[in-house]
Amino acid sequence: MPDSLAPNVTDVVELTRTLVRCESVTPHEAGALQLLERTLAPLGFRCERMDFSQAGTDDVANLYARIGTPRHEGGGRHFCFAGHSDVVPVGDLSSWTIGPFSAELSDGYLFGRGAADMKGAIAAFVDAAARFLARRGRDFGGSISLLITGDEEGPAVNGTVKMLKKLAERGETIDACVVGEPTSSRRFGDMMKIGRRGSMTVDLTVRGIQGHVAYPERLDNPIHRLSALIEALVREPVDKGSTHFQPTSLQFTTVDVGNRATNIAPGVVRARFNTRFNDLWTSQTLLAHLKERIERAHAALGGHGTIEYAVEVSGESFYTPPGPLSDLVAGAVRDVAGVEPELSTTGGTSDARFIRSYCPVLEFGLVGETMHKVDEKSAIEDLRMLARVYETVLDRYFAA
């Protein structure tokens, strides 16, 4: 944690800079959650570390901070801001023109890993809450919380999903949630996410018979079989999309043989593909459909050899219909930034896929053009507008 940490600083730009200086590459906390605890506690938030472990995964530190009385103890409505303090690796350090953890300001931008995804949004919510509480006081008729994980950019098994389960087990409910992912596309406020496609990764293992390439009658080359299976999967679209979602995509990400010999056909080949699927499917129905395509192509080749599947589903598709929450956030964006946000379901997955089982949820945050890239950055003015949007949302959600 930086020595310069000032626990009472809630200004969105300075807090973002201090957070960026915490080198919290998944799964390392690196002082980011300690910083938030020391910033939120003086505002009246009760800060609770929720750290989880699971065999085969890294230990992960998480933070749940809340102000207000829970509903099951007689409190009012509960608004939650969810996000992640972990960031992706910086990659080739020599490619950065500004140090990835220096949090420098230049030409109207704040540079650094996490500036867009999504330490800027976390700082904006703290700034918004501080200003809201300064005007309204701590007795505003409800609860505000921050649910911050250190595991969103990783396997996402020791973070949000377990935090939500723990809250539910003790009777703590959330009424509405905004996730601070960088949803804006080209300019601040032009897009929010009201749903996401599901994500499923499938590992295929195709087995044949290894042999000398000069004697093809003695071998069964699984690479040739795999090529036909790939063609069967990508030749035609999975679907044409749905009312709220773009078409399901399927992309092969690797084909591995591990064969350096020039005169041997391998006995095994492995491949992996990922599909981002819309609400026409569940992971189970989509997997059944894809297996049918594969098996049909396999049978057309004579059905020799074997095919094995290993499947990992990181999230189902979900959709939050336009309603009070999207109207609330869109209205705040419109009044603060003068922009009408598009309600979108594009992009990758986020922890909103877990939250949607507990309450209405949407995602709204900074411009995401540089997230995960070299020289990640956010416009200083965008950071300040985001804090004002979140403050406006709180004002209207807890309107007197």
Q: What is the pLDDT of residues 99-128, one digit of tens each?
A: 999 999 999 999 999 999 999 999 999 999
Sheet holding 342-344, edge to edge: 46-49, 63-67, 142-149, 77-84, 176-179, 361-363, 191-193, 342-344
Tens of pLDDT, residues 136-189: 999 999 999 999 999 999 889 999 999 999 999 999 999 999 999 999 999 999
Residue 6 has a pLDDT of 47
Cβ atoms of 67 and 133 closer than 8 Å = yes
Identify the bridge partners of residue 178 per DSSP, sorted by sequence position. Answer: 81, 362
Residue 349 has a pLDDT of 87
Tens of pLDDT, residues 41-57: 999 999 999 999 999 99
Q: Is residue 3 predicted with pLDDT exceeding 80?
A: no
Q: How far is CA 241 from CA 202, 278, 289, in A?
A: 21, 7, 16
Q: Is residue 98 predicted with pLDDT exceeding 70?
A: yes
Whose tokens are 């499938």? That residue is 202
The average pLDDT across 360-369 equals 97
Identify the bridge partners of residue 212 per DSSP, sorted by sequence position. Answer: 264
Mean pLDDT (the chain, rounded)? 94
86 catalytically annotated = yes
- pLDDT band, very low/low/confident/very high, at 8 (cuts 50, 70, 90): low
Alpha carbon distance 122, 267 (integer Å): 51
Q: Tell me which of 116-130, 291-305, 365-379, 380-394 is least confident.
A: 291-305
> By percentage, how much of the chain surpasses pLDDT 90?
91
Residue 70 has a pLDDT of 85
**Chain center to CA of 357:** 16
Q: Is residue 4 predicted with pLDDT exceeding 60?
A: no
Could you please report the per-residue DSSP string of 67-131?
A: ES--GGGT--EEEEEEEE--B-----GGG-SS-TTT--EETTEEESTTTTTTHHHHHHHHHHHHH
Q: Is residue 320 predicted with pLDDT exceeding 60?
A: yes
Domains recognised in the chain with CATH numbers: 12-196+317-397 (3.40.630.10), 198-315 (3.30.70.360)
Please report which residue ranges of the chain form alpha helices under DSSP H: 12-20, 32-40, 119-136, 160-169, 222-234, 283-300, 324-337, 352-355, 380-397
Residue 9 has a pLDDT of 72
Q: Is residue 398 predicted with pLDDT exceeding 60?
A: yes
Which stretch, 5-14, 299-308, 311-320, has highest mean pLDDT? 311-320
Identify the bridge partners of residue 269 per DSSP, sorted by sequence position. Answer: 206
Residue of 86, 151, 363, 376 with catalytic role = 86
The average pLDDT across 252-264 equals 93
* Residue 155 burial (10 A CB sphere; 0-12, 13-18, 19+): middle
Helices and strands, counts by H and E, the chain = 9, 19
Tens of pLDDT, residues 205-218: 999 999 999 999 99
Which backbone phi and psi does 195 adopt, to 5 degrees? 180, 170
Residue 400 has a pLDDT of 52
Reported residue count of the chain is: 400
* Cβ partners under 8 Å of residue 391, min gap 6: 127, 128, 129, 131, 132
* Structure token pair of residue 350: 């986020």
Element (H, E) at 361: strand 361-363
Amino acid residing at 123: A
152 catalytically annotated = yes
Residue 206 has a pLDDT of 96
* Cβ partners under 8 Å of residue 206, min gap 6: 222, 225, 226, 229, 268, 269, 270, 271, 305, 306, 307, 308
The average pLDDT across 276-300 equals 96
Residue of 117, 127, 151, 152 with catalytic role = 152
Tens of pLDDT, residues 228-254: 999 999 999 999 999 999 999 999 999
